[in-house]
Amino acid sequence: MRRAFIGQATGVLVTLLGLLVLTFVIGRVMPVDPVRAIVGEDATREVYENVFRQLGLDRPVWQQFFYYLWDVLRLDFGTSIRTGQPVIDDIKRVLPATIELATFAIIIGATLGISLGVTAAVNKDRWPDHIIRVISLLGHSMPIFWTGMIGLLIFYAGLGWVGGSGRMSQFYIGMVPERTGFLFIDSAVAGQWDVFWSALNHVLLPASLLGYSSAAYITRMTRSFMLDQLGQEYVTTARVKGLSRHQTIWRHAFANIRVQLVTIVALAYGALLEGAVLIETVFAWPGFGQYLTSNLLIGDMNAVMTCVLVVGVIFIGLNLISDLLYRVFDPRTR
């Protein structure tokens, strides 16, 4: 156990170091002049050179990297050009909104995707399988920004079943003090249940659309994993011994694909956290993806490099959680 822990910790540290190197290289090879983004196009040469030295760009590259590494260890990611605030404060402000959206989406996507995938595998080459495969293909093929706009037209503007853009109604903005940044937690702690239900009403549509997109991928993978297990001899043996169809599918075949599904769901969740920019744009959702895109368009490299680093750390964390869940679902890995 000690050797396994040391090996895992070493792997995480090496991965983090590689991620820092990659982030630093991205900041240097991007066709954006960080000095010009700060001083503007009309700055004099003297002002340009002063800022150039203040940023440490006159030092050798290896020295710049070690200064960058030291700043990261101190959680100093610089100041955003667009907001004028420390980048770490901006990340703390926008990331909870995306986490809430992605969490609702992955709950919907995993529940729907696993259920449909198992159903399709059990009914291979029959009409339920064909219908589910068509539904999955549509979810994987339709652009998310298009489904977002159609969803707003039908369910918000037409039927009025869900809230519109933003995290909550304009009437409730500023009513809940921000303690954690998570609107559902803050509104529940403050006892502002009207705000809570307004937030739930607004998150349902974008989370459902994102969840449907993720469900398409999870469905296909679940179907593939289940078909492989249903073709094994132990399934035939279980049926010969008198186990019901339901017990054979869920207690035996599905139990053997749980470890694989943990990886699939974790990767889908990570993709939602860093790839929800289109749905955030359509729904004016003040989240991480919209923050990254806005700063990328104006060349705010401090914010862009920090966002890339955060995405990498998220995937490393999800992989660690997946490893822990492996030990829960498969005793052989303990």
Q: What is the CATH number of the domain that holds 289?
A: 1.10.3720.10
Closest CA to 302 of 39, 50, 91: 91
Residues 315 and 265 in one domain: yes
In a domain, 17, yes or no: no
Task: Judge if 52 and 126 occupy the same domain.
Answer: no
**43 and 186 together in one domain:** no
Same domain, 167 and 204: yes
Q: Are residues 71 and 138 in the same domain?
A: no
Residues 209 and 260 in one domain: yes
pLDDT in tens, 16-69: 888 888 877 777 766 666 666 666 666 677 777 777 776 666 677 777 788 888
Provide the residue range defining the domain that includes 66.
Answer: 35-76
Q: Do both 241 and 320 map to the same domain? A: yes
Instruction: Kindly tell me if the per-residue pLDDT of 135 is higher than 70.
Output: yes
Domain annotation covers residue 10: no
For residues 148 and 330, the model is more confident at: 148
Q: Report how many domains make up the chain.
A: 2
Q: State the helix-helix crossing angle for 288-298 and 87-122, rounded to 10 degrees.
A: 120
Looking at the fold, whether 50 and 144 belong to one and the same domain comes out as no
Percentage above 70 pLDDT, the chain = 90
Q: What's the CA gap between 138 and 134, in Å, rounded?
A: 6
Q: Do 206 and 262 sit in the same domain of this protein?
A: yes
Assess if residue 30 is contained within a domain. Answer: no
List the alpha helices (DSSP H) in the chain: 2-29, 34-39, 45-54, 61-73, 87-122, 127-141, 144-151, 183-189, 193-230, 233-240, 245-247, 258-275, 277-282, 288-298, 301-329
Q: How many CA atoms lie within 13 A of 95 on its CB side?
A: 15
| Domain-located, residue 319 | yes
Q: Which has the closest alpha carbon to 100: 222, 259, 261, 279?
A: 279
For 83-107, the pLDDT digits (tens) are 778 888 888 888 888 889 989 999 9
Same domain, 211 and 249: yes
**Domain for residue 20, yes or no?**
no
- The verdict on 42 and 145 lying in the same domain is no
Residue 86 backbone phi and psi in degrees, to 5: -55, 135
Dihedral, CA atoms, 4, 8, 13, 18, nearest 10 degrees? 130
Contact 176, 190 (CB under 8 A): yes
**Is the domain of 251 the same as that of 324?**
yes
